[in-house]
Amino acid sequence: MATSQECLNIDELRLRARRFLPRGLFEYIDRGAEDETALRRLRDSFAQAELTPRVLVDCSGRHTGVPLFGRDRPMPFVIAPTAAAGLVRYDGEVLLAQAARAAGIPFCVSTESITSIEAIAAAGAELWFQLYVWRDRSLTHALLDRVAACGVDTLILTVDTAVSPKREYNRHNGFSVPVKPSLRGALDVARHPAWLGGVLLRLLADGGWPGYAHYPPQFRTRITEARSHDPIRLCDRVSWGDVAELRRRWPGRLILKGVLATEDALLAAEAGVEAIVVSSHGGRNLDSAPAPLAVLPRIVDAVGGRMTVLADSGVRRGSDAAKLLAAGASAVLLGRAPLFGLAAGGQAGAEHALAILRDELDRTLALLGCRTVADLRSIACPGAAAQDGGNGTHSRSGMTVG
């Protein structure tokens, strides 16, 4: 069997991850919501988008680096927050942080991480923190104090998850929270002995089934127990007032993740946040959501230089990232790709996933006649605003979507 280092692309890492992980956990990472229309729409948006190359351009001396929030990064990527990383590999969140540090990019820690921000910070990576606002705002504010004490200066508020999305396959395979032990689940785990021995049994030896490390001690439950405590449930009453309160309380950078409407992007700029992430949550929430690539040019044009615009969802190739960058994103968050690498080969596998995407992005730059990521926004159609055409959406950088 090939090692993760022999995988040539993210799809090959995905197949190795599928063999390593129990089906329930793999599908939790890999699949979407309801009929998975949004997930298909993501892939279709990248497949149908075209980038027009310029030829006979000296593209030697290329680099994939970008400036982001006052720092030069060697590649335009951020490892996105994911709740399941600590179950993918033992100490998975720490391993991802170490992979991010090796690559010179930030790692965003999830509110629902099973490893604490304090433990992850010890890895020495640049950490961002993703926040879900709890019903009891005082508990949320206490968590922010804890995060700031770890030296984190960038907070990502997830704004597209007012309620838990409907993921029926999770219920069928027993991986909904709480995880419900069952014969079907036990057989699934037994068919994946490497994960059983390398992850689950080590977690159990450390004290049993893990819980969410950022929950207040009085409300911390294991993932096999129901989260019945109202104060820390997902809150469907989060509003722009909460953004204003966070802006007042949080001393660092504030980013809103999950913006798809131009109107919301403009409100975010007015609220004084530094950035937004144009995201459909990887097709895992609203199954009717548009693909970020379809709305990104309009949003970038609307907010102009008032704020930084990032993007994510569905990136499997460096050319996918190039299309988001060509459409105006300053950087791209990566969710599933590093997780597939983590499952396939631990920290080395996550580093390999990042290296694959960087190499593919570099090749895409060369074949387009670009030396830098910034050049993506000016080739073939410099400065053109997105416009709806009869056969598709024509955006900046000679890119045709649809």
- Are 284 and 169 in contact by the 8 Å Cβ rule? The answer is no
Is residue 281 part of the annotated active site? The answer reads yes
CA distances from 193 to 46, 53, 173, 186, 199 (A): 36, 47, 18, 11, 10
- CA-CA distance, 367 to 154, in Å (whole number)? 34
3-class SS at 145?
A: helix
Residue 40 is encoded by which pair of tokens? Answer: 């298909």
**Strands 392-395, 399-401: parallel, antiparallel or unpaired by DSSP?**
antiparallel
> Which single residue is written with the structure tokens 């984190």?
152
Single-letter amino acid code for the residue at 12? E
Q: Give the residue from 74, 149, 133 showing the smallest Cα distance to 106.
A: 74
Single-letter amino acid code for the residue at 401? V
| Catalytic position from the list 192, 214, 281, 394 | 281
Say how many C-beta atoms besides its own lie within 10 A of residue 373's C-beta: 26
Residues designated catalytic? 281
